[in-house]
Amino acid sequence: MTQRKSNTLLIEGGHRLHGTVAVSGSKNATLGAMAAALTVPEDCVLQNVPDIGDVEQMAQVLRSLGASVDWAGQHVLHINAAKLHSSSPAMEYAGTLRGSFLVMGALLGRLGEASCPQPGGDVIGQRPIDVHLAGFAALGAEVSRDGERFIAHASKPLEGATIFADYPSVLGTQNLMLAAATARGRTRIVNAAAEPEVQGTAQMLIRMGARISGAGTHTVEIEGVESLRGCEFEIIPDRLEAGTYAVASALTQGEVEVRGACPEHLESLTHKLREAGVQIEIQGNTVWARGVPELRPLTIQALPYPGLATDLQALVAVLLTQAHGVSYIHERVFDNRLLYAGELRKMGADVVTTGTTTAIISGPTSLHGARVQALDVRAGAALILAGLAAVSGRSEVTDVYHVDRGYERLDEKLRSLGARIERV
């Protein structure tokens, strides 16, 4: 992985973005694919893997179990889990990465046992893991907790079951597919998550020999098979990164061509951007986004897929500081994902939060440079975009290691589009 030398970005705003940018592979789909590689003692080769912090941390999680994980070329990751020596990943790696909990399902399905620490990640609200644990129990595992670790143990082979998920959890659905792929009989996950990243995990498992149907809907069925096999698999494009560049173009009244995207995965965002007046054109896997002088206000809700992704709402919030009128944002996925509002106010934004899930934004406001802190991956990206839109002063965004966890060379790609941004 490319090591980033600094955790602070300096940004001079007021410059329109223009040009072409390529989208990297999906972070969340990659983590699911890396976990899937644990289900077999054979080689798995992942292509289009983003060079980001969370992928390297997940690699360390897998290595702590005994798997070999190596870069085999640019954006190509080779994984072999033939010599696993543990069913419990190291706390130092797994404890701060939400996606590390996916090893539970993979190891439970293959070894009949797994333990993992309470998953970490961004501080964006409660993300209960009850869906995972209840699902493991439904498949026949005994689930318990020992201090900071959750333990799942199956004294006999897992048996297919109907699992009613209390919430359409992305990680929960991925985890249960991993566990159920080799369970005896049929498993139905009702109220499953439909996100593209779930579909990506299902597609890789199918490539490995699993029998899965319904991925992308809210009912997923898995017919257990005796064993899986290694495979080569290409990671889907990162819809969140693609959306980031589209919003950045609109925010700076620029014109950006986003290549290598999957427009179908962006429909909820492009619909709202058009509603605001942004010019959007789509051809194949390319999205053109052109900003306009006057944006219309919006009311948006962050929802499970196919709704607007919660990971995009902070970015849209920055855009709406430039809309003419009052906009409303309702966060329906996490209960504490508006912490960025205080940082935006430092830059002159008129943002009022009511409780922890609703923001009211009045605009347009002239943003100005300020020293702000990236609190998580997407909030950090939102503040970087706000810096691009600032009409006076320089913005200093600290703790951008959060951003590096989820974006591959975001600052470099923005600079290629004309942004004046540098690491210091």
| C-alpha distances out from residue 108 to 264, 295, 371, Å | 33, 50, 46
Give the confidence band of 261 by pLDDT, cuts at 50, 70, 90: very high
Query: What number is the average pLDDT over the span 375-386?
Result: 97
User: Does residue 4 sit within a domain?
Assistant: no
Q: Are residues 269 and 156 in the same domain?
A: no
Residue that terminates a domain, selected from 234, 264, 285 = 234
Q: Are residues 200 and 228 in the same domain?
A: yes
Give the confidence band of 389 by pLDDT, cuts at 50, 70, 90: very high
Residues of the domain holding 322: 9-24+237-423
Give the confidence band of 20 by pLDDT, cuts at 50, 70, 90: very high
Please choose, from the candidates 96, 87, 31, 91, the residue with its C-alpha nearest in 3D space to the C-alpha of residue 58.
31
**Is this prediction's pTM over 0.85?**
yes
Residue that terminates a domain, selected from 234, 256, 284 = 234
Tens digits of residue pLDDT in 188-242:
999 999 999 999 999 999 999 999 999 999 999 999 999 999 999 999 999 999 9
What is the domain count for the chain?
Answer: 2
Q: What is the model's pLDDT at position 125?
A: 44
Mean pLDDT score of the chain: 96
Q: Are residues 217 and 294 in the same domain?
A: no
Q: Is the pLDDT of residue 113 over 70?
A: yes
Paired tokens of 180: 């159920």
Backbone angles phi, psi at 355, to 5 degrees: 70, -150
User: Does residue 3 sit within a domain?
Assistant: no
Q: Are residues 283 and 319 in the same domain?
A: yes
Q: Is the pLDDT of residue 124 over 50?
A: no
Query: What number is the average pLDDT over the span 121-133?
Result: 66
Q: What is the model's pLDDT at position 263?
A: 98
12 bridge partner residues: 394, 420
Q: Are residues 288 and 177 in the same domain?
A: no
Paired tokens of 186: 């049929």
Tens digits of residue pLDDT in 160-197:
999 999 999 999 999 999 999 999 999 999 999 999 99
Q: What is the model's pLDDT at position 123?
A: 45
Give the three-state DSSP class for 27: helix
User: Does residue 284 sit within a domain?
Assistant: yes
Tens digits of residue pLDDT in 57-98:
999 999 999 999 999 999 999 999 999 999 999 999 998 899
User: Does residue 2 sit within a domain?
Assistant: no
Q: Is the pLDDT of residue 306 over 80?
A: yes
Q: Are residues 72 and 135 in the same domain?
A: yes
Give the confidence band of 335 by pLDDT, cuts at 50, 70, 90: confident
DSSP symbols for 146-207:
ETTEEEEE-SS--B--EEE-SS--HHHHHHHHHHHTTSBSEEEEET----HHHHHHHHHHHH
Give the confidence band of 245 by pLDDT, cuts at 50, 70, 90: very high
Query: What number is the average pLDDT over the span 97-122?
Result: 91
Q: Are residues 259 and 211 in the same domain?
A: no
Query: What number is the average pLDDT over the span 394-421?
Result: 98
Comparing 116-120, 124-128, 139-143, 359-363, the range with the smallest average pLDDT is 124-128
Q: Are residues 83 and 226 in the same domain?
A: yes
Paired tokens of 330: 């309702």
Q: What is the model's pLDDT at position 122?
A: 45
Q: Are residues 269 and 418 in the same domain?
A: yes
Q: Are residues 34 and 158 in the same domain?
A: yes
User: Does residue 137 sit within a domain?
Assistant: yes
User: Does residue 84 sit within a domain?
Assistant: yes
Burial classification of residue 279, based on how many CB atoms lie within 10 Å of its CB (0-12 exposed, 13-18 middle, 19 or more buried): middle
CA dihedral 251, 252, 255, 258 (to 10 degrees): -50
Give the three-state DSSP class for 36: helix
Q: What is the model's pLDDT at position 2?
A: 60
Check which CATH number belongs to the domain holding 260 and give it.
3.65.10.10
Please choose, from the candidates 182, 222, 413, 407, the residue with its C-alpha nearest in 3D space to the C-alpha of residue 311.
407
Residue that terminates a domain, selected from 234, 252, 275 = 234
User: Does residue 196 sit within a domain?
Assistant: yes
Give the confidence band of 400 by pLDDT, cuts at 50, 70, 90: very high
